[in-house]
A = this chain, B = another copy of it.
Amino acid sequence: MDTKIVECVPNISEGRNKETVKKCAEAVSSVPGVTLLNCTSDSDHNRSVLTFIGSPEGVVEAAVALCRTASRLIDLTKHKGEHPRMGAVDVIPFIPVKNVTMDEAVEISRNVGKRIFEEAGIPVYLYENSASAGHRRNLADVRRGQFEGLKEKTLLPDWQPDFGTGFHKTAGISIVGAREFLIAFNINLSTSDVDIAKKIAKVIRQSGGGLSCVKALGIMLHNRNIAQVSINMTDYKVTPLYRVVELVRAEARRWGVTVTGTELIGLSPMKALIDAAEYYLQLEDFNYSAQVFENHLL
């Protein structure tokens, strides 16, 4: 079958008000040709992650509809949460899944960026593979300063939005782009000392000289009174899940704490999880394509 499938994983800056999250989810799921796969809210992060797939046309409509709804319901001037954010719909990544190239996904992200400004009045930065300049590729760099720093940031010549000018007074700026599958993965520690999570995050992430394609932050989960290493894995084929978990377990021992559990936010490709099984079960000569039954049905 040559059906084109694109995935979109927008993060919205609301993880506490269920009614608002529900309306945002409905804005997506009511678009024909789009299937909402998952919606995960985190009240400490005060953030929700929506995952949907659909045709290239469908995902464009759904992303724009989401921004229209979110800009009405989410007010960043009153938003507090553990996770850095710049917009009501903070980041809108498009991932090519089936019969779609990265170039096509970039094209989709540009269409969406243009329409978000035109139809919801929210200026847009393009990032990752859609970035208009090298210094705008990395999400953390684009988001630096957060919502509160937008007034200053958007005055800098290097940080003019790609679509629109300035920023939306309550919805900020949305960051839109095409990228590879990203795994959002959190590791909970047996401590309420957030400094330990921060120290671990610093040594495991790529920017700290740690693992390639790993971004990590140490944060506090106030609801559960535990510290967490919050991780984005931008390429699980380069750095597999198990290596991150084992490295965090090793670094945690140094501080006398243990990993009490982990959380997968949204979706993971089956291979990322089966790679972990292959490692821990010590499978020899394992052939992923041939030996996983479902690969013959896909």
Q: Are A292 and B263 closer than 8 Å at their CB atoms?
A: no
Q: Is A156 an interface residue (CB 8 A)?
A: no
Q: Is A261 an interface residue (CB 8 A)?
A: yes
Q: Are B298 and A282 closer than 8 Å at their CB atoms?
A: no
Q: Which residues of B contact A53 (CB under 8 A)?
A: 296
Q: Are A260 and B280 closer than 8 Å at their CB atoms?
A: no
A residues 239-298 near B (Cβ < 8 Å) are 241-242, 245, 259-264, 266-270, 273-274, 276-278, 280-286, 290-298
Chain A interface residue count, Cβ-Cβ cutoff 8 angstroms = 45
Q: Are B280 and A268 closer than 8 Å at their CB atoms?
A: no
Q: Which residues of B contact A274 (CB under 8 A)?
A: 270, 273-274, 277
Nearest opposing residue in chain B for A37, CB measure:
B296
Q: Is A165 an interface residue (CB 8 A)?
A: no
With contact pairs A291-B38, A294-B294, A297-B98 given, residues A282 and B270 touching in the complex (Cβ less than 8 Å): no
With contact pairs A277-B274, A296-B37, A298-B297 given, residues A286 and B264 touching in the complex (Cβ less than 8 Å): yes
Chain A: interface secondary structure?
mixed
Q: Is A192 an interface residue (CB 8 A)?
A: no
Q: For the complex formed, measure the closest distance between the CB of A155 and the CB atoms of chain B, giving whole angstroms.
A: 41
Q: Are A291 and B266 closer than 8 Å at their CB atoms?
A: yes
Q: For the complex formed, measure the closest distance between the CB of A298 and the CB atoms of chain B, giving whole angstroms.
A: 6
Q: Which residues of B contact A46 (CB under 8 A)?
A: none
Q: Is A55 an interface residue (CB 8 A)?
A: no
Q: A181 to B269, alpha carbons, bound, how many Å?
A: 23
Q: Is A154 an interface residue (CB 8 A)?
A: no
Q: Are A37 and B283 closer than 8 Å at their CB atoms?
A: no
Q: Is A146 an interface residue (CB 8 A)?
A: no
Q: Is A212 an interface residue (CB 8 A)?
A: no
Q: Is A35 an interface residue (CB 8 A)?
A: yes
Q: Contacting A38 at CB < 8 Å: which of B188, B278, B290, B297?
A: B290
**Residue contacts A-B, CB under 8 angstroms, 15 given:** A35-B296, A38-B291, A181-B293, A188-B284, A241-B277, A263-B284, A264-B283, A268-B291, A269-B293, A269-B294, A270-B292, A270-B295, A273-B277, A273-B281, A280-B280
Cβ-closest 6 pairs across A and B:
A280-B280, A276-B277, A273-B277, A261-B284, A270-B294, A267-B293
